[in-house]
Amino acid sequence: MWSSKFNTEYIYGATDYRNKHILKYDFPHSRKTKFFLNIKRIDKTLKSYLISYSLLDKIFTRVMSLIYNKGPINLSNIEINNLDIEYSIKNFELNLIETIEISKKNDVKEFYIISLPSMYDLLNQKILRFELYNKSIKKIESKFYPYVKILDLTFKKKVDDIDTLFCDNIHQTLKLNQIIADKINKQIKLSSGILN
């Protein structure tokens, strides 16, 4: 089973990602990310060895938080463009195809791509990342069918007790985890060539 619908975005800002040699794409914020990573490394080293630096850092951070009334300063806010999204999905697709091929070589009998639900399913707007993800997994399913099957668990209609199902937009509560486990179990029993 493979379920990484929400993890495709972790590549944004990456300087060296797994399929960079194939895609030949540099995410625009990768230099900024590398710069801030180096700054954070120096910062951590100084905090570890100099008490005075650590104290000044805490004072500076609190003063800036009070002045701007925004809480801790976050340097990782970057804007993602459509090209970044397209390449992150292409990277996901390459990883998924390789995973499928490895599973076939290791005598795995069936492969399921699980599309988990989120609160985004209930928005009445199109989200490019999820549209491209859905196209990608459908293309892969058709290429490798019947070995690869999609278990689509996304919400298709309004859900009444949505607040009891999610901790945030994508992370599920125990209640929803149990519901999903039951749905996965039922769908695999219906569509599995091994279990039937």
For 172-192, what is each residue's pLDDT tens digit? Answer: 889 988 989 999 999 998 888
Is the full-model pTM beyond 0.85?
no
> Would you state the structure tokens that stand for residue 160, as one six-digit string?
């009444």
CA distance 26 to 11: 11
Identify the three-state secondary structure at position 30: helix
pLDDT tens digits, one per residue of 128-166: 888 999 999 999 999 999 999 999 888 877 778 888 888
> Would you state the structure tokens that stand for residue 9, as one six-digit string?
């975005």
How high is the pLDDT of residue 73? 43
Q: What count of other Cβ atoms lies within 10 Å of the Cβ of residue 76?
A: 10
Closest to 9 in 3D by CA, of 129, 187, 170: 129
pLDDT tens digits, one per residue of 86-145: 888 998 899 899 999 999 999 999 999 998 888 887 776 788 888 999 999 999 999 999
Judge whether residue 16 has pLDDT over 70: no
Q: Judge if the upstream peptide bond of residue 146 is cis by omega within 30 degrees of 0.
A: yes
Q: What percent of the chain has pLDDT over 90?
A: 23
Domains of the chain listed by start with CATH number: 30-68 (no CATH), 83-191 (3.40.50)
- The residue ranking higher by pLDDT, 25 or 92, is 92
How high is the pLDDT of residue 42? 83
